[in-house]
């Protein structure tokens, strides 16, 4: 007969305040992986266990699995790789979301004689084992294990009920963490791709202060040639340009949080150096905030510097067009706006050598003019490949 939720609560005999602290710690850890040691230690205390283990990923070939462990081990409480004998464990292929103990699976004699116990559990003081394989919507199957030494009591019906009570929150916390991690990873990839396209991005909060800027933006602002930071706020060098820039920013603030589609506005910013003007696009950041908050992204500013150098990957360029290293180097200099003669000087090669490289490049890429070569270089996917030896990064403004 299936136990009701109320019956599980009654059987678990868990203090409500303690339960609230544990659930809160699980969801805090879902938002910040550095906090997993807190609920893991709470679980260890709650079950009077010597080890509590979350096996996040079993190994394919090696003997190291990705896991979090509370107990006397190296890397305790952190997401780390630890030895995991997945080929010899008797706990494989368990029904998902069903709490089990060693006693459910085998006799005491079989457990003591198993190679898993003799080689792994016994030497670490592990005798009593309770666990559950947790099915998550997007992250596959995760393994939760609680252990005690032989001198401790066996896991009781109350312990099972307690584990069942915690299981839904543990599942949700793990799934939330994986979804957030995936979202953050994709965001980082998009940010890096934008940087490699030589597009500067600056994020402003609701007061106009700079929250974030990528590597390209840092370089532009450091030069203070057209755009600069004044008191943590973005300003243009010339008053007329600055008035227009601030108007666009105010318009974006006014649209922030509204359900209407984002509207991007653009302005050309003159540069005191006489270089080609910077092209600036301003738009609001869509917000799903349910409560008023401060210091959140409100506006994003995109800047394109026509004379800035590309962060294109030489490796991707070679793979796309089957170019030699010398031909690739010449292509990249031409894509950065240099003439053939200027590129030859920058690469410290003779002009005749540069012309010979250019003829070979034309043959391999199927183009006939230098302008056409630059166009296909800038418009190809090579522009979003990881730049060699460079890792674009964001920093707080």
Section 165-179 average pLDDT = 87
* 38-64: pLDDT as tens digits: 999 999 999 999 999 988 876 655 566
* 67-87: pLDDT as tens digits: 888 888 776 667 676 666 666
Return the CATH number of the domain spanning residue range 314-384: 1.10.10.10
Beta bridge partners of 384: none
User: pLDDT-based confidence at 307, cuts 50/70/90?
Assistant: low
Report pLDDT for 193. 64
How many Cβ atoms sit within 10 Å of the Cβ of residue 144?
Answer: 21
What crossing angle do the helices spanning 314-321 and 351-365 adopt, rounded to 10°? Answer: 60
More confident residue, 257 or 42: 42
- H or E element in which residue 206 lies: none
Residue with tokens 């679980």: 43
Domain ranges of the chain: 5-183, 198-305, 314-384
- DSSP state, 385? S
CA dist 367 and 374 (Å) reads 10
Q: For 87-122, b where at least 16 C-beta lie within 10 A, e where not — what string?
A: eebbbeebeeeebbbbeeeeeeeebeebebbeebbe
Query: Are 1 and 11 in contact, with CB atoms under 8 Å apart?
Result: no
More confident residue, 9 or 90: 90
User: pLDDT-based confidence at 271, cuts 50/70/90?
Assistant: very high
* 285-302: pLDDT as tens digits: 876 555 456 678 888 999
More confident residue, 178 or 270: 270
Q: What is the largest CA-CA distance in the chain?
A: 88
Q: Is 198-305 the same fold as 5-183? A: yes
Of residues 320, 317, 345, the one with CA closest to residue 331: 317
* 15-34: pLDDT as tens digits: 788 888 999 999 999 888 88
Structure tokens at 33: 């992986």
More confident residue, 380 or 375: 375
CA atoms within 13 A on the CB side of 294: 1
With a pLDDT cut of 90, the percent of the chain lying above it is 36
User: pLDDT-based confidence at 226, cuts 50/70/90?
Assistant: very high
Structure tokens at 7: 């019956």
DSSP codes, 4-21: PHHHHHHHHT--HHHHHH
Of residues 323, 96, 31, the one with CA closest to residue 333: 323
Report pLDDT for 178. 79
What would the 3-class secondary structure string for 36-96 be? CHHHHHHHHHHCCCCEEEEEEECCCCCCEEEEEEECCCCCCCCCEEEECCCCCCCCCCCCE
Return the CATH number of the domain spanning residue range 5-183: 3.30.450.40
Q: Which fold has domain 198-305?
A: Beta-Lactamase (3.30.450)
Residues 6+ apart with CB under 8 A from 364: 321, 322, 323, 327
């Amino acid at each position: 007969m299936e136990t009701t939720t109320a019956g599980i609560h009654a059987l678990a005999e868990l203090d409500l305040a303690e339960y609230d602290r544990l659930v809160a710690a699980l969801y805090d850890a879902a938002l910040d992986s550095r906090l997993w040691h807190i609920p893991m230690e709470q679980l260890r205390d709650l079950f009077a266990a010597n080890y509590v283990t979350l096996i996040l990923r079993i190994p394919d070939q090696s003997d190291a699995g990705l896991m979090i462990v509370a107990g006397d081990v190296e890397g305790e409480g952190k997401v780390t790789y630890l030895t995991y004998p997945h080929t010899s464990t008797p706990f494989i292929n368990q029904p998902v979301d069903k709490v089990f103990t060693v006693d459910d699976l085998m006799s005491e004699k079989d457990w003591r004689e198993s190679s898993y116990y003799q080689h792994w559990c016994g030497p670490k003081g592990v005798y009593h084992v309770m666990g559950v394989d947790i099915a998550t919507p997007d992250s596959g199957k995760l393994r939760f294990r609680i252990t005690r030494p032989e001198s401790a009591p066996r896991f009781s019906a109350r312990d099972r009920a307690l584990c069942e009570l915690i299981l839904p929150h543990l599942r949700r916390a793990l799934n939330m963490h994986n979804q957030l991690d995936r979202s953050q990873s994709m965001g980082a990839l998009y940010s890096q791709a934008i940087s490699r396209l030589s597009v500067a991005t600056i994020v402003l909060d609701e007061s106009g202060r700079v929250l974030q800027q990528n590597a390209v933006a840092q370089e532009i602002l450091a030069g203070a040639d057209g755009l600069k930071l004044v008191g943590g706020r973005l300003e243009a060098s010339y008053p007329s340009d600055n008035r227009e820039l601030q108007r666009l920013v105010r318009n974006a603030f006014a649209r922030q949080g509204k359900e209407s589609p984002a509207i991007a506005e653009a302005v050309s910013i003159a540069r005191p150096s006489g270089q080609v003007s910077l092209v600036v696009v301003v738009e609001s950041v869509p917000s799903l905030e349910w409560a008023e908050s401060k210091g959140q992204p409100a506006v994003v500013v995109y800047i394109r510097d026509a004379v800035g150098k590309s962060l294109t990957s030489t490796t991707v360029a070679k793979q796309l067009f089957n170019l030699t290293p010398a031909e690739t180097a010449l292509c990249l200099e031409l894509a950065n706006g240099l003439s053939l003669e200027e590129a030859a000087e920058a690469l410290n090669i003779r002009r005749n050598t540069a012309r010979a490289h250019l003829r070979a490049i034309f043959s391999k890429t199927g183009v006939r003019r230098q302008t056409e070569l630059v166009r296909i270089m800038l418009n190809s996917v090579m522009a979003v490949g990881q730049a060699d030896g460079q890792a674009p990064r964001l920093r707080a403004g």
